[in-house]
């Protein structure tokens, strides 16, 4: 099944009709006949979309939608309100309750399915981010974002070349948001940190549908929600816009209040997904980064080295390994304190990184030990780089205790290169033995150990 949809209506014939249409499109359909039943089902099965009738006895669709959006467990489920009501106030009320769309009966099947495809894609992407968020143990992003963004207007880019319509859009948006205007040639405006793109599909000098497709495929605008402005009754262009990646549709001439509500909903959704994406990126970075020095960690460098050594052992390019150990580091900790030791590690890591070549991979291996993996590098070339690192570290004292106390630091470096038939363990053992030899020979020197 492509997506799971919960249909909520107290009239059995309506439920059966909509269920049949959705199943013909290969959706999995669940049903509920009342508001409380819908809320329980949403929490139990986590549907990808809720299609919700407004006019129900007891708890109406507006209240059900509001409760779904207020519950952290269900707030990310898209909701389409379906009703015979066609009053402006009812539409605004539904959108203000958090509904993602509001369709009036009798609805157009093609229009409904375009919205279903669009909203279920959105839910699937949010689910993926939330699963990664949970694995990274950074829960609470959605709730925290909702608290931070209350009352914040959205930065909107209006793309329209019709003077009167664009001015109406800009005037309406200024009440609650921060709009700016662009034509078909977006230029640097598309690079701005806008949160919602408002695109006219009835522009005179450019194809609005082509703009929607272009924006959706550009890396810098791929994740920015698009609100497409269509002429009343132009259902075909509205459907095509949704299929091309527009997130929402509004009819022209636009209602200012409806425009602001729809933009606010899209901006809130973007802020949530941006926060989730940032949390996921942060988790991935933490998984491969040493938090003190900012270098890669042992797990990451071992994974990289394993592949390179395997390729080298099978006749591929040679790879060299540099192992580094800060001399007399225990004396620094004992004499100046562990805070000073942390300062030394951070500065040492920076000097190490500045002395390496592009493509070299530096990592903190543990304590005061560091490793550098050098792809496509011979042992002799690695020794040249190692000597540059050694001189850089010893050239100037490292200032600790907020820059008040200088500490002289040196490093002993061992170098080993992998060749045919070699293993990761063998290369690292030779580099470690070379470090030990450098220590025995008086420290502050580079020693190479051949296979």
Residues annotated catalytic, as ranges: 368
User: Would you state the structure tokens that stand for residue 79, as one six-digit string?
Assistant: 């909701």
Pairing between β-strand 369-374 and β-strand 319-326 as defined by DSSP bridges: antiparallel
Cα–Cα–Cα angle for 205, 211, 213, nearest 5°? Answer: 150
Which residue's structure tokens are 């259902």? 235
Task: Provide the sign of the torsion angle of the four alpha carbons 349, 353, 356, 359, taken in this order.
Answer: positive
- From edge to edge, which strands make up the β-sheet containing 319-326? 361-366, 369-374, 319-326, 411-418, 446-448
Range 20-23 contact pairs with CB under 8 angstroms and sequence separation of 24 or more: 21/109, 22/116
CA distance 313 to 295: 27
Pairing between β-strand 79-83 and β-strand 101-104 as defined by DSSP bridges: parallel
Kindly report whether the peptide bond that precedes residue 21 is cis, defined as omega within 30 degrees of 0.
no
Q: Are 414 and 323 in contact (CB under 8 A)?
A: yes
Which residue's structure tokens are 């390179």? 308
Maximum separation of any 2 CA atoms in the chain, in Å: 90
């Amino acid at each position: 099944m492509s997506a799971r949809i919960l249909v909520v209506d107290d009239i059995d014939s309506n439920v059966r009709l909509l269920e049949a249409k959705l199943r013909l499109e290969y959706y999995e359909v669940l049903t509920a006949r009342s508001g409380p039943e819908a809320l329980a089902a949403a929490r139990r099965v986590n549907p990808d979309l809720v299609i919700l009738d407004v006019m129900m006895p007891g708890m109406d669709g507006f209240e059900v939608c509001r409760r779904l959006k207020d519950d952290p467990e269900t707030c990310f489920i898209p909701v389409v309100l379906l009703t015979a009501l066609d009053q402006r106030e009812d539409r605004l009320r539904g959108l203000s309750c958090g509904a993602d769309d509001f369709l009036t009966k009798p609805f157009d099947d093609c229009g409904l399915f375009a919205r279903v495809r669009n909203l279920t894609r959105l839910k699937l992407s949010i689910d993926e981010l939330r699963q990664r968020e949970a694995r990274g143990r950074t829960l609470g992003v959605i709730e925290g974002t909702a608290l931070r963004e209350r009352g914040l207007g959205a930065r909107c880019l209006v793309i329209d070349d019709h003077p009167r319509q664009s001015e109406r859009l800009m005037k309406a948006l200024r009440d609650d948001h921060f709009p700016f205007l662009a034509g078909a040639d977006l230029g640097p405006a598309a690079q701005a940190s806008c949160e919602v793109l408002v695109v006219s599909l009835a522009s005179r000098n450019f194809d609005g549908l082509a703009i929607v497709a272009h924006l959706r495929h550009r890396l810098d605008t791929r994740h920015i929600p698009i609100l497409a402005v269509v002429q009343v009754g132009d259902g075909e262009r509205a459907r095509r816009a949704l299929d091309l990646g527009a997130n929402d549709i509004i009819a022209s001439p636009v209602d200012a209040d409806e425009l602001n509500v729809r933009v606010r909903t899209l901006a809130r959704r973007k802020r949530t997904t941006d926060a989730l994406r940032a949390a996921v990126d942060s988790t991935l970075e933490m998984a491969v980064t040493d938090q003190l020095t900012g270098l890669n960690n042992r797990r990451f460098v071992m994974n990289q080295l394993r592949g390179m050594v395997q390729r080298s052992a099978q006749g591929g390019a040679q790879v060299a390994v540099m192992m580094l150990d800060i001399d007399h580091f225990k004396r620094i900790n004992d004499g100046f304190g562990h805070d000073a030791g942390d300062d030394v590690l951070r500065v040492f890591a920076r000097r190490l990184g500045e002395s390496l070549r592009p493509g070299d991979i530096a990592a903190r291996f543990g304590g005061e030990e560091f490793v550098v993996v050098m792809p496509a590098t011979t042992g002799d070339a690695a020794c040249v780089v190692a000597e540059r690192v050694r001189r850089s570290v010893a050239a100037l004292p490292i200032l600790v205790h907020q820059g008040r106390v200088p500490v002289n630091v040196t490093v002993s470096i061992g170098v080993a290169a992998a060749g045919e038939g070699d293993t990761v363990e063998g290369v690292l053992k030779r580099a470690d033995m070379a470090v030990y030899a450098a220590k025995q020979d008086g420290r502050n020197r580079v020693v190479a150990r051949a296979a």
